[in-house]
């Protein structure tokens, strides 16, 4: 597996609940998920992605999108590829879209080609990267992107991914308590299925094994703790990792950068 990050930059979008990142890399991202909504613009190269929503290929100019909890990967095609990406906390989306009963009422499509949205995304990153960013201008550019997506590029709720009761329960437990020690026997007992049924059903419905999903949940928790200013060593233990080196390996595999680089790029 290639693992060469050529350039990573975390931006300061000034808007609470919004994170912005630019990435140019050959890193092959394994199947994983995010806590947030993600909207990005592909600026270079191409990649193949598997998602539990559907398989897609994207290239320069395309808009890529990901939903909270959506399992997906990213494999480069013929060298490095790059994108600008914004990650949006679900509560921010819920606040802006008060006409929907809740955020779960829509699921964004994995990739689209939309000239107007492409313009809004480029304008957003231009505003973010000005020498003295104007918060009002950034907020407006962000909301124009979100409006375009929600008006034209969402599935109906019925087209989103649903899980069987046992797998939904297992997934919810791993999301809620990733730092806790858990065994397959404990998890299968909680869900009322055998260990074999748990592994088979979980892998079929989510695309990853229960243990792989647990590690991803711990990495997502670690990211939140780092954003709160916690030290990497403390974060590793609080998030359920044996030590900092275990966190670093898992974090780098999932996000393409080390926890130290992630923290430093925000300064």
Look at residue 9 in the predicted model and tell me its pLDDT: 84
β-partners of residue 154 are 108
Q: Which parts of the chain register pLDDT below 50?
A: 1-3, 158
Look at residue 2 in the predicted model and tell me its pLDDT: 45
The CATH classification number of 5-159 equals 2.60.120.280
Question: 208-224 pLDDT, tens per residue?
Answer: 999 999 999 999 999 99
Domain segments of the chain: what residues? 5-159, 165-264
How far, rounded to the nearest angstrom, does the alpha carbon of residue 197 sit from its chain's CA centroid?
A: 28
Check if 5-159 and 165-264 are the same fold: no
pTM (predicted TM-score): 0.86
Look at residue 115 in the predicted model and tell me its pLDDT: 97
The CATH classification number of 165-264 equals 1.10.10.60
**How far does the chain reach from its first CA to its final CA, in angstroms?**
30
Question: 198-207 pLDDT, tens per residue?
Answer: 999 999 999 8
Six token digits for residue 78: 């013929």
């Amino acid at each position: 597996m290639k693992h060469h990050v050529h350039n990573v930059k975390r931006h300061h979008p000034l808007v609470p609940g919004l994170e912005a990142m630019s990435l140019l890399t050959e890193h092959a991202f394994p199947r994983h998920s995010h806590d947030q909504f993600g909207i990005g613009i592909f600026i270079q190269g191409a990649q193949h992605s598997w998602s539990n929503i559907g398989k897609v290929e994207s290239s320069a100019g395309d808009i890529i999108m990901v939903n909270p909890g959506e399992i997906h990967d990213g494999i480069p095609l013929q060298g490095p590829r790059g994108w600008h990406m914004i990650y949006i906390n679900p509560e921010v989306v819920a606040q802006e879209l008060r006409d929907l009963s809740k955020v779960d009422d829509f699921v964004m499509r994995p990739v689209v080609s939309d000239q107007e949205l492409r313009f809004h995304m480029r304008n957003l990153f231009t505003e973010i990267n000005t020498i003295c960013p104007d918060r009002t201008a950034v907020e407006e550019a962000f909301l124009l992107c979100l409006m375009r997506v929600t008006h034209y590029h969402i599935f109906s709720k019925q087209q989103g991914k649903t899980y069987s009761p046992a797998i939904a329960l297992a997934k919810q437990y791993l999301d809620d308590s990733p730092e806790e020690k858990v065994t397959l026997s404990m998890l299968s007992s909680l869900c009322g299925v055998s260990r074999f049924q748990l592994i088979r059903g979980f892998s079929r419905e989510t695309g990853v094994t229960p243990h792989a999903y647990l590690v991803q949940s711990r990495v997502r928790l670690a990211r939140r703790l780092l954003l709160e200013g916690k030290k990497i060593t403390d974060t590793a233990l609080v998030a359920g990792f044996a030590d900092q080196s275990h966190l670093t390996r898992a974090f780098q595999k999932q996000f393409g950068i080390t926890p130290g680089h992630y923290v430093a790029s925000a300064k």
